[in-house]
């Protein structure tokens, strides 16, 4: 029987750790979550981040701005948050409306407060193997693999999806663990041949049940980053029919998702300790 790697269990352990760290601090770390517009998924993610931060006793606020907010206004808000000594972490929920340049917004966030780990300075440090704020979903995946004792040394890891949020930073973290890493994407030729090489297969494409059983190597470890709504159901990027071929897999929901929020709060604490030391 394959092992179900339950991210919510790993997240709970991380929250316990964070509670202990927070109890020893002489200040309360502060997180600001900025959202433009009311895209239902973004509303739900930003609410959850805020709720979990408050549950830990952190100072958290969602700053919800209208969809029409100009780039200049948003950059003005970020400048204020950068300068506010009481703010430790700034997160701007993506995607942003088309009239706002995402790259410019990310670059405006102070790298020391960039709890998403998306600023080019932090991306550079990540790829250089230096200590930094690591992107939350990839860092959460590594934590799940560690928790369940998945050995990465010398293993064939294939990531399907090359986003700046998941695929690319995860490649860097897996390389650091001495995995042999392949990043496949929508233009990859004969994708199934590539994914069948994977001892660790990560699906981060946002297409429901995209990875079918034929694409999976016997005994592979499967990490499912996707979460799509199909009718009433939440569905991952990996067809659950493939779980039977695996040695371990993350379920959807309750797999990678809970770790993303937990790592965000870990990053907020890390940013606070680094900045206020």
Q: Residue numbers of the site for ligand GUN (CB under 6 A)?
A: 91-94, 116, 136-137, 165, 260
Among residues 49, 113, 168, 270, which one is catalytic?
49
164 versus 180: smaller Cβ distance to ligand GUN: 164
Among residues 88, 114, 116, 224, which one is catalytic?
116
50 as an active site residue: the answer is no
Q: Least distance from C-beta 41 to ligand GUN, angstroms?
A: 8
> Which residue's beta carbon is nearest to the bound ligand GUN?
94
Q: What CA–CA distance (Å, rounded) separates 272 from 275?
A: 5
Assigned token pair, 218: 């016997």
126 versus 220: smaller Cβ distance to ligand GUN: 126
116 as an active site residue: the answer is yes
Q: What CA–CA distance (Å, rounded) separates 21 from 270?
A: 10
Q: Least distance from C-beta 267 to ligand GUN, angstroms?
A: 10
Q: Measuring CA to CA, which residue among 30, 33, 165 is closest to residue 92?
A: 33
Dihedral, 111, 114, 116, 117 alpha carbons, nearest 10? 20
3 versus 110: smaller Cβ distance to ligand GUN: 110
Are the CB atoms for 250 and 7 separated by under 8 Å? yes
Q: Least distance from C-beta 23 to ligand GUN, angstroms?
A: 27
Are the CB atoms for 240 and 1 separated by under 8 Å? no
Q: Measuring CA to CA, which residue among 173, 165, 152 is closest to residue 221?
A: 152
DSSP H or E run through 188: none
49 as an active site residue: the answer is yes
Q: Least distance from C-beta 115 to ligand GUN, angstroms?
A: 9
137 versus 246: smaller Cβ distance to ligand GUN: 137
Kindly list the catalytic residues: 49, 93, 116
């Amino acid at each position: 029987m394959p092992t179900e790697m339950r991210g919510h269990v790993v997240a709970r352990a991380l929250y316990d750790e964070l509670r202990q760290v927070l109890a020893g601090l002489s200040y309360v770390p502060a997180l600001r979550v900025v959202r433009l517009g009311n895209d239902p998924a973004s509303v739900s993610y930003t609410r959850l981040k805020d709720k979990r931060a408050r549950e830990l006793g952190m100072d958290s606020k969602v700053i919800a701005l209208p969809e029409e907010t100009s780039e200049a206004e948003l950059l003005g808000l970020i400048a204020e948050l950068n300068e506010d000594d009481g703010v430790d972490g700034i997160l701007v929920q993506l995607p942003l409306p088309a009239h706002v340049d995402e790259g410019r917004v990310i670059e405006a966030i102070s790298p020391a407060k960039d709890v998403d780990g998306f600023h080019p300075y932090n991306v550079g440090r990540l790829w250089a193997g230096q200590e930094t704020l690591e992107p939350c979903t990839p860092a959460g995946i590594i934590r799940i693999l560690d928790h369940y004792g998945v050995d990465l040394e010398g293993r064939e890891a294939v990531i399907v999806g090359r986003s700046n949020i998941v695929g690319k930073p995860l490649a860097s973290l897996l390389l650091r663990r001495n995995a042999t890493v392949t990043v496949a994407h929508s233009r990859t030729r004969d994708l199934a041949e590539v994914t069948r090489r994977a001892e660790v297969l990560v699906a981060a494409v946002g297409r429901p049940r995209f990875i079918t059983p034929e694409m999976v190597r016997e005994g592979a470890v499967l990490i499912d980053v996707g979460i799509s709504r199909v009718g009433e159901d939440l569905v991952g990027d990996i067809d659950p029919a493939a779980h039977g071929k695996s040695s371990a897999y993350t379920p959807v929901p309750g797999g990678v998702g809970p770790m993303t929020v937990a790592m965000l709060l870990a990053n907020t604490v890390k940013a606070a300790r680094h900045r206020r030391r």
